[in-house]
Structure 1
């Protein structure tokens, strides 16, 4: 069974039973960024520490970084985004995912916001 968690940076994380984490951005984030035109994904096999830049996304409005939500090793990237970065706008919580990684410590991720907590957080942004 997988759990979905959210960060204050508007990233979502789906965690499976084996500590494999899929990362994407929320509908709120893609809406505020506008149409994505470029996505730079991390290299498979790269170990990235929590808080370090993992991916770069560029939209018609701005460029933004996706920070690593926990330390781990990149196991897969969404190759389709290289040709079709708009998938993030079309389906941010599904086919618009960015990368998967094997978390070194899942405990830090499980403490993030659940869906209700994220909705409450959004309400504070006014």
Structure 2
């Protein structure tokens, strides 16, 4: 949380910072990359994961439910990481939740990869 922003709900919001953190997702590369060169790994948007969501650890799942061939096979799809509207304590690569595959929100996105 950016507590010094003009939009902050705290008494010290007059520190003179107006960067819009906490008001929506940021465009790609608008913040510095982490030590691995990754941008916005946590805190920008939740990321859709390929696997179906289950309440059980993945080690207990049959492979067909971990790596699926199509979204139509999942009633609930995993999302990971936490987004801009979540509290700091929720921002973790191990944080997971679920949404229906056809759900849309400005708090969920996906990461495009390119092999180098």
TM-score by length of 1: 0.21
| Higher RCO structure (Cα 8 Å, ≥6 apart) | 1
Quick check: which one's strand share is greater?
A: 1
Quick check: which one's helix share is greater?
A: 1
